[in-house]
């Protein structure tokens, strides 16, 4: 998976609790992305980062925040998880020199 790890890989949490997902890369790529994957919707972009402390919103950013304090780490936070945020979350990276994205293994999040 091209030097990308995600943690945790699985999480079950209760509605209203905060949740942070971590994406870590060893490729020194400039761009990092968070997607969610749901049946019938494919992958949808939540937020992305184009450098340390530089982030922007994607299609489905409501209810999510991100932070990138180091090149290698991109954090996705659900401030107050809701059942609609039950999904599989994928992190991806891109060097910026090409359009190819490399994906992490995914985090399966269940909000009960």
Partner 1 sequence: SQQGEEDPQALSIQEGENATMNCSYKTSINNLQWYRQNSGRGLVHLILIRSNEREKHSGRLRVTLDTSKKSSSLLITASRAADTASYFCATDARTGNQFYFGTGTSLTVIP
Contact residues for partner 1, defined by CB under 8 A: 1, 4, 31, 33, 35, 40-45, 48, 50, 56, 58-59, 90, 92, 94, 96, 98-106
Task: Tell me how far, at minimum, the Cβ of 103 lies from partner 1, in Å.
Answer: 3
CB nearer to partner 1: pick between 47 and 81: 47
Task: Tell me how far, at minimum, the Cβ of 52 lies from partner 1, in Å.
Answer: 16
Any idea of the CA torsion for 9, 105, 70, 31, to the nearest 10 degrees?
-150
Cis peptide, bond prior to residue 29, ω within 30 of zero: no
Task: Tell me how far, at minimum, the Cβ of 99 lies from partner 1, in Å.
Answer: 6
Who's near 40: CB < 8 A, 6+ residues apart?
Answer: none
Stated length of the chain: 112
């Amino acid at each position: 998976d091209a030097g990308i790890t995600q943690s945790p890989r699985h999480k079950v949490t209760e509605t209203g609790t905060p949740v942070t997902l971590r994406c870590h890369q060893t490729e020194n790529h400039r761009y990092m992305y968070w997607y969610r994957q749901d049946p019938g919707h494919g992958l949808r972009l939540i937020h992305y980062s184009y450098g340390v402390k530089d982030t922007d919103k994607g299609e489905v950013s409501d209810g999510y925040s991100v932070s990138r304090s180091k090149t290698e780490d991109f954090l996705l936070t659900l401030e107050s998880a809701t059942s609609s945020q039950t999904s599989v979350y994928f992190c991806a990276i891109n060097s910026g020199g090409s359009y190819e994205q490399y994906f992490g293994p995914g985090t399966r999040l269940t909000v009960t």
